[in-house]
A and B are shown apart, each in its own frame.
Chain A
Amino acid sequence: MATVTNWIDHLSASEVQGAIYPGVGTEGILVLIAFVIWIGWHVIASKQESEEHSKLARRRPGSNEWKSNITDG
């Protein structure tokens, strides 16, 4: 994976290569992974949120009931 194994050789080359991150050339795969993570996050987070709301909505707590849950003070 290492793009640079010797800084002296790297910086004294006639044309210094700019990209120095590991796995130069694999950017397309990394972008694909990022897309999957991004979309996947929305799917999972949305499902969690819907479940949380449905559960709470079914219980129908009163609009002042939260006041009995204040823990500080």
Chain B
Amino acid sequence: MTDELGALTTIFTEFYYWITVVLMFLIHVGFCMYEVGASRYKHHQHTLMKNTMLIPLVTVTWFLFGWWIYWAFPTGPGIAPSIMNESAALITDDSLFSAKWYLPNSDLMAVNLGDHISGVFWAAFLLFSWTAASIVSGAVIERITTFAFGILAIAIGSVFWSIDAAWGWHFDGWMLKILGYHDAYASGVIHAIAGGFALGILIVLGPRIGKFSSSGEPRNIGPRNPWLVAIGLFLIYTGFWGFYAACNIPIFNLGPEYGMEGVTYFTATNIYVTPTTLSGITMNFLMSLSGGLLAGYVIAKGDPFWTYSSGLAGIICASAGNDLYHPIQAMIIAMIGVVIAYKMHYWVERKFKIDDAVGAVAVHGYAGFAGLVICGFVLNGYPSSGYSVGAMWDGTTYAAINPLGMFIGALIMFFLLGMLPGWIIAKVLHGMGKLRIPREVELAGLDFDIMEAAKDDEKAVASASR
């Protein structure tokens, strides 16, 4: 960095992503509080540790292979050629954005004076990975083993979400080119896939003991600490600001990028390098949050647990197109998403005896799925990528956003990359006898030994005279 303006832009971008990482950390704090608040007293500490340990597991594997997958898989492989090297193979050549630079033994995956961006960008994506795994974590509380959850967290956090991001989020992704897929703030690439993955696990894992009566009627196992749940969800809202900002590129000169001669146009862009503004998406974020809360309060008849969750579901549903929607559109879409998520949750629970302990499949999966489909209609005709402005290497352009492409994209996210792998891996773990904790432990409480030891310690301390 030798010229001041270039240096300022680079350092600003580096700092921008760094701030998003710090903010997104709050999402995980929120998820941990939320889960502990939702779990029963006798399972509190193990519930907390299960979610906490996904941090190192997903981080290490994201370093070792997750990040590489994102840069290698935009072509499928074999589905659509890259605009960088005209090949449909994995992108591992010497091109500028090749996965080659993101192998764990690359010198760019470390302190490198020639690269101020890769590390913070890696971290921003990693925090998305934590979120994907954490969404799954809440659904399976009180009966999954920590070992099984660790494997599943790595699968969703460092493999499957990374593939879906390569396909549907990367500027060179085949889903943009062929389907016209558009998902600016991750209705599908984080939420629908994680919700689907959780559902796949839940089918194999089964409900908590006592969740359903002998006649199959579901019983409510409500949050044991509603205040912790409330604070947790507020923290997730707060971290979501960082999530939105991290999905943007803060400053980009689109003229040269689009091949427009003599045109200079600096703007913020979304992940697809199409223009938006941080200002506009801030309005949409707040209006979709509001739409979600309004609808949730009414449909859940003032139940705080669902009202808070609905705020989140509202944002999630509007996220696919929140780079372009009008704020009132965002609010209405959020309201629709909440109604769908709430109704689907109880229908699936009764019909299939699925015990989703925190409503994660509904809030993330169904709301995310609905958000993608709605986006296909509302943004029908918009370019799915900045690069559709100019011709691609072979003269073709990216498909425009369209309802059918977005519906197929939603199916890919929820079922193909979410539910199916979740179900298969859970089946394998179940076959190994490693998926679910023993019945006796579930009844006694995962924390039974810890609590008993604490009681013994307390007795000893209380009776001590010196």
A residues lining the B interface (CB < 8 Å): 16-21, 24, 27-28, 30-31, 34-35, 37-38, 41-42, 45-46, 49-50, 52-57, 59-63, 65-66, 68-71
Q: Are A53 and B438 in contact (CB under 8 A)?
A: yes
B441 touches A35 (CB 8 A): no
Q: Spot the interface stretch: B56-64, B81-89, B90-98, B226-234.
A: B56-64
Nearest to A70 among chain B residues (CB) is B451
Interface residues on B, range: 35 or more
Grouping DSSP codes into helix (H, G, I), strand (E, B) and loop, the B interface class, with mixed when no group exceeds half, is helix
Q: Which of B197-212 touch A at CB < 8 Å? A: none
> Which DSSP category, helix, strand, loop or mixed, fits chain A's interface?
helix
Q: Are B64 and A65 in contact (CB under 8 A)?
A: no
Chain B 105-119: CB-based contact to A (< 8 A → 1; otherwise 0): 111111111110000
| A45 to B283 alpha-carbon distance, docked (Å) | 45
Given contacts A42-B150, A69-B451, A71-B451, contact A53 B107 (CB under 8 A): no
User: What residues of chain A lie closer than 8 Å to B64, measured between beta carbons?
Assistant: 31, 34-35, 38
Cβ-defined partner of B444 (8 Å) among A18, A21, A66:
A66
**Contact status of A45 and B115, CB under 8 A, knowing A19-B110, A27-B106:** no
Chain B: minimal CB distance from A43 (Å): 10
Contacts of A59 in B (CB 8 A): 440, 444
Contact (A63, B451) CB under 8 Å given A27-B106, A53-B437, A71-B458: no
CA distance A30 to B110 in the complex (A): 12
CB closest residue in chain A, given B451: A69
Is B12 in the interface zone, CB < 8 Å from A?
no
Query: A residues within 8 A CB of B455?
Result: 68-71
Contact B113–A57 (Cβ < 8 Å)? no
26 contacts between A and B (CB under 8 A): A18-B112, A21-B111, A24-B107, A27-B106, A27-B107, A31-B64, A38-B57, A45-B146, A45-B150, A46-B147, A46-B434, A49-B145, A53-B437, A54-B438, A56-B449, A61-B443, A61-B445, A61-B448, A63-B444, A66-B444, A66-B448, A66-B451, A69-B448, A69-B454, A70-B455, A71-B458
State in angstroms the CA–CA spacing of A61 and B454 once bound together.
Answer: 16
Given contacts A31-B104, A34-B60, whether A65 and B115 have CB atoms under 8 Å apart is no
Interface: B347 (CB within 8 A): no
Given A31-B104, A31-B105, A66-B41, A18-B449 contact (CB < 8 Å): no
Cα distance A35–B109 in the bound complex, in angstroms: 16
Tell me if B447 counts as interface (CB < 8 A to partner A): yes
Instruction: List chain B residues, Cβ under 8 A from A37.
Output: 60
Q: How far is the CB of A58 from chain B (nearest CB, A)?
A: 8
A38-B57, A66-B444 are known; give 19 further A-B pairs, CB within 8 A. Answer: A16-B114, A19-B110, A19-B113, A27-B104, A27-B110, A34-B60, A34-B104, A38-B60, A45-B146, A49-B146, A53-B145, A53-B441, A54-B438, A55-B449, A56-B448, A57-B438, A61-B448, A69-B451, A71-B451
A19 near B107: Cβ-Cβ < 8 Å: yes
B452 contacts the other chain (CB 8 A) = yes
**How many Å lie between the Cα of A60 and that of B114 in the bound state?**
60
Given contacts A35-B64, A42-B147, A46-B147, contact A52 B449 (CB under 8 A): yes
Interface assignment of B100: CB less than 8 Å from any CB of chain A? no
Whether B441 contacts A56 by the Cβ 8 Å rule is: yes
B353 on the interface (CB 8 Å rule)? Answer: no
Chain A proximity mask over B432-466: 1 for CB below 8 Å, otherwise 0: 00100111110111011101101100100000000
Contact of A18 among B107, B441, B445, B458 (CB under 8 A): B107
